[in-house]
């Protein structure tokens, strides 16, 4: 892949990820496992590499050890390559004694490092979205419009408008209004896209609003200027609305698969969607692969099992069990007589070769698990039932949580034999 010159990618990875708790209990949001073997941050990094952008910074701050380790162990370019994926951790300096206060503040505080490479354009990306995009097309659109700033935008329905930043474009594609998470029906009605414009984009009439994807392409000069003019902290809430009257801000409409995995429900749904016969997003794309840490694990051993519409990653051992509509992560151990349905098993970081805990690593025999997320290194005892038969929506229990009706067993948790959740 030929390098696209003059572009630096910046991935935002420093937020607390409170909506993804407890998956973010001891890791940052971009470090959350995905699809059995990846991390969320692998998506924007892979999109950059596949687009010829190989100078990439990841801004980290909160619970960052796991994310930092994954990046340093995974993304190493050759000695004679100009490419890199570097971590820019929040730091105190003579000019700033505070940590990152928001997305824009993170970039503002990191500019002195980013500008060392004298980029002409700076591409700012979120670390918690699932999609595949060729950023070269975005760059081409940006240049054709002679834009100062270009936002990637995605058509959405009215029902989703209150969760996203919604914008209005004129007939040239220039953004003339931006409202972060509008609640007023009159405001939403005003932001609707004309049906003729929708038809020209090949978008159905029910997806009549355009949402910001949190992907911003700036001319470097414009980014430096807008961050110095506007001292506020967040791109979506502060910087972009303030820039619209003063800068040439355009929208680039993206209408392939895109999912904001910012909540437990969205994370759960996006992962289970991967098990469909014809998934909306597939990791099987030779022309644009998703990269991750090479672990050199053995092939999985699946003995006397029934598997239906499921993904099983490498290094697993599954004995005499039934698994349906589920994702089984690396190094998962599932023992005899267990039934798993519509569940994400995130796997383990190691093999329990010399167990000292009375509850072995993985899922014990004769368990029934449905509608759950089992985080890494969990120890589930024999005969455990995780079914949420009480229909809880949001609940904190002993060594488990319920969010959006989904039971989550957090990383390193232990569930004793015979427990019913």
pLDDT for 97 equals 55
Provide the percentage of residues in the chain whose pLDDT is more than 90: 72
pLDDT for 99 equals 63
What is d(CA 59, CA 218) in angstroms, rounded to the nearest whole number?
Answer: 17
What is d(CA 235, CA 103) in angstroms, rounded to the nearest whole number?
Answer: 6
pLDDT for 95 equals 65
User: Average pLDDT for residues 22-42, to the nearest whole number?
Assistant: 94
Indicate the length of the chain as a whole number: 421
State phi, psi for 196 to the nearest 5 degrees: -70, -35
Angle at 342 between CA 339 and CA 344, to 5 degrees: 95
Q: In the chain, what are the domain boundaries?
A: 7-273, 301-415
Q: Which CATH superfamily is domain 301-415 in?
A: Hexapeptide repeat proteins (2.160.10.10)
Question: Which tokens go with 72?
Answer: 């340093």
pLDDT for 319 equals 97
Assign 229 a pLDDT band (cuts: 50, 70, 90). Answer: confident
The enclosing H or E element of 137 equals: helix 135-144
Provide the percentage of residues in the chain whose pLDDT is more than 70: 97
Assign 240 a pLDDT band (cuts: 50, 70, 90). Answer: very high
Assign 63 a pLDDT band (cuts: 50, 70, 90). Answer: confident
By the 8 A CB rule, do 363 and 380 touch? yes
Q: Which residues fall within 8 angstroms of residue 415, CB to CB, at 6 or more apart?
A: 359, 378, 379, 380, 381, 384, 386, 399, 400, 409, 421
Q: Alpha-carbon Rg of the chain, whole angstroms? A: 23
pLDDT for 163 equals 84
Residue 29 pLDDT exceeds 60: yes
Q: At 117, is the secondary structure helix, strand, or coil?
A: helix
Angle at 27 between CA 21 and CA 29, to 5 degrees: 65
Residue 13 pLDDT exceeds 90: no
Long-range contacts of 230-239 (CB under 8 A, 24+ apart): 230/104, 232/102, 232/104, 233/101, 233/102, 233/103, 233/104, 233/105, 234/102, 234/103, 234/104, 234/105, 235/103, 235/104, 235/107, 235/124, 236/103, 236/165, 236/180, 236/212, 237/180, 238/102, 238/104, 239/104
pLDDT for 92 equals 60
List, for residues 80-130, the tens digit of each pLDDT value. Answer: 788 899 998 876 666 665 666 778 888 988 899 999 999 999 999 999 999
Q: Which residues fall within 8 angstroms of residue 141, CB to CB, at 6 or more apart?
A: 150, 250, 252
In this structure, of 157-161, 228-232, 280-284, 411-415, the range with the lowest mean pLDDT score is: 228-232
pLDDT for 1 equals 65
The enclosing H or E element of 323 equals: strand 322-324
In this structure, of 3-7, 291-295, 386-390, the range with the lowest mean pLDDT score is: 3-7
Q: How many helices (H) and strands (E) does the chain have?
A: 10, 31
List, for residues 367-407, the tens digit of each pLDDT value. Answer: 999 999 999 999 999 999 999 999 999 999 999 999 999 99
Residue 330 pLDDT exceeds 70: yes
Asked if the peptide bond before residue 300 counts as cis, ω within 30 degrees of 0, the response is no
User: Average pLDDT for residues 214-218, to the nearest whole number?
Assistant: 96
What is d(CA 339, CA 318) in angstroms, rounded to the nearest whole number?
Answer: 11
Assign 3 a pLDDT band (cuts: 50, 70, 90). Answer: confident
What is d(CA 88, CA 105) in angstroms, rounded to the nearest whole number?
Answer: 13
Q: At 4, is the secondary structure helix, strand, or coil?
A: coil
Specify the fold of 7-273: Spore Coat Polysaccharide Biosynthesis Protein SpsA; Chain A (3.90.550)
List, for residues 246-285, the tens digit of each pLDDT value. Answer: 999 999 999 999 999 989 999 999 999 999 999 999 998 8
pLDDT for 100 equals 67
Residue 339 pLDDT exceeds 60: yes
Q: At 10, is the secondary structure helix, strand, or coil?
A: strand
List, for residues 197-212, the tens digit of each pLDDT value. Answer: 777 777 888 899 999 9
Angle at 31 between CA 9 and CA 299, to 5 degrees: 110
Longest dimension (CA), the chain: 67
The phi-psi region of residue 315 (left if phi > 0; otherwise alpha if psi is between -120 and 50; otherwise beta) is left
List, for residues 149-206, the tens digit of each pLDDT value. Answer: 999 999 999 888 888 899 999 888 999 999 988 899 899 999 988 877 777 777 888 8
């Amino acid at each position: 892949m030929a390098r696209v010159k003059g572009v630096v990618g910046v991935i935002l990875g420093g937020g607390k990820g409170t909506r993804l708790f407890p998956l973010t209990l001891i890791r940052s949001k971009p470090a959350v496992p995905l699809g059995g073997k990846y991390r969320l941050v692998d998506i924007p990094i892979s999109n950059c590499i596949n687009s010829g952008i190989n100078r990439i910074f990841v801004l980290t701050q909160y619970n960052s050890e796991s994310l930092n380790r994954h990046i340093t162990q995974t993304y190493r370019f050759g000695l004679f390559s100009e490419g890199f994926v570097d971590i820019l951790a929040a730091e105190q300096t003579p000019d700033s004694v505070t940590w990152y206060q928001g997305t824009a503040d993170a970039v503002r505080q990191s500019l002195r490092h980013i500008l060392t490479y004298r980029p002409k354009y700076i591409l700012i990306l979120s670390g918690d979205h699932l999609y595949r995009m060729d950023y070269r097309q975005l760059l081409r659109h940006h240049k054709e419009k002679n834009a100062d700033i270009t936002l990637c935008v995605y058509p959405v329905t009215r029902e989703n408008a209150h969760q996203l930043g919604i914008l209005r474009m004129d007939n040239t594609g220039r953004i003339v209004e931006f409202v972060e998470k509008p609640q007023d029906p009159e405001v939403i009605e005003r932001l609707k896209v004309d049906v003729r414009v929708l038809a020209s984009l090949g978008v159905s009439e029910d997806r009549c609003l355009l949402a910001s994807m949190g992907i911003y392409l700036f001319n470097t000069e414009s980014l430096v200027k807008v961050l110095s003019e506007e001292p506020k902290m967040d791109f979506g809430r502060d910087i972009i609305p303030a820039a619209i009257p003063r800068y040439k801000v355009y929208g680039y409409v993206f209408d392939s698969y895109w999912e904001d995995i910012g909540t437990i429900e969205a994370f759960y749904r996006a992962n289970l969607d991967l098990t469909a016969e014809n998934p909306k997003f597939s990791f099987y794309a030779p022309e644009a692969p998703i990269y991750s840490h090479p672990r050199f694990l053995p092939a999985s051993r699946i003995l006397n099992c029934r598997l239906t519409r499921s993904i099983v990653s490498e290094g697993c051992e599954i004995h005499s069990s039934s698994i349906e509509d589920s994702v089984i992560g690396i190094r998962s151990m599932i023992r005899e007589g267990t039934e798993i349905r519509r569940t994400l098993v995130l796997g383990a970081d190691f093999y329990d070769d010399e167990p000292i805990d009375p509850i072995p690593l993985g899922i014990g025999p004769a368990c029934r698990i449905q509608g759950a997320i089992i985080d890494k290194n969990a120890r589930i005892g024999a005969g455990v039932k995780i079914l949420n038969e009480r229909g809880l929506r949001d609940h904190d229990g002993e060594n488990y949580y319920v969010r959006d009706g989904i039971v989550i067993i957090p990383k390193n948790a232990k569930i004793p034999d015979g427990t019913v959740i």
